[in-house]
Structure formats: C-alpha cells, structure tokens
C-alpha cells in the first residue's frame, strides 16, 4: 500500500471516530428534546388515524353539532382560525426559506 493511500485510510478512520463521538455528544444534548419528539410523533400518528377513520370523525362532528350546536360552532371557528394561521405560516416559510431537498 502506498504512503498516500495509507495516509488517506488513517484520515478516514480518524474522521469516522470523530463523527461517532460527535453523534454521541449530539444524542446526549438532544435527550432534553425527547418530549417534543414524542409529542410530534403522537401528532403524526393522530393525523394518520384521522385520515384512516374519516367517517368516524364526521359522525362525531355531526353528533356534536346536533347535541351542542353553540360549542360545536365555537370549536369550528377555532379550527378554521388555526387552519388559516397554519396555511399563512406554511406559505410564509415556503417563500422565505430555501427549498429543502427531499429524498
């Protein structure tokens, strides 16, 4: 093996060791964010459940409107406002941030 290849192999090994150490450090630092990640996972799971059970969600919404129309319309108003805020935020970020490369 030539000296250049040996030097490159050693440099690669040192970089891999440093990378492993940095990943461990990042994992230690990010452990405080675990509740946020868990909440995000639960929100995504909830959204998937709603998409799979659309009929049940609509049936509950209709029952709520029939039983308590005033509170149902209050929640509908809040949901509409939240939806508008989400769309405005998404549009703002889409125009302000550089495009993200997706795999």
Determine contact, residues 71/78, Cβ cutoff 8 Å: no
Q: 20: which 2 tokens?
A: 């492993």
Looking at residue 56, its pLDDT comes to 94
Q: Domain tally for the chain?
A: 2
Using CA atoms, how far residue 31 sits from 37, 73, 84, 96, in Å, is 10, 40, 33, 30
Spans of the chain, pLDDT less than 50: none
User: For position 101, what pLDDT does the model report?
Assistant: 60
Question: Do 81 and 42 reside in the same domain of the chain?
Answer: no
Q: What is the DSSP letter of 33?
A: G
> Quick one: 44 and 1 in the same domain?
yes
Contact 72, 64 (CB under 8 A): yes
Domain edge (last residue) among 52, 74, 91: 52
Q: What does pTM read for this prediction?
A: 0.48
pLDDT at 12: 96
**Residue-number span of the structural domain to which 27 is assigned:** 1-52
Residues 37 and 69 in one domain: no
């Amino acid at each position: 093996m030539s000296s250049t290849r040996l030097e490159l192999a050693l440099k690669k090994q040192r970089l891999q060791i440093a990378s492993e150490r940095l990943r461990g450090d990042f994992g230690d630092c990010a452990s405080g964010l675990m509740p946020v990640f868990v909440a995000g996972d639960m929100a995504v799971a909830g959204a998937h459940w709603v998409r799979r059970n659309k009929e049940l969600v609509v049936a509950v919404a209709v029952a709520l409107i029939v039983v308590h129309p005033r509170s149902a319309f209050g929640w509908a108003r809040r949901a509409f406002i939240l939806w508008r805020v989400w769309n405005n935020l998404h549009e703002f970020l889409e125009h302000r941030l550089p495009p993200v490369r997706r795999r």
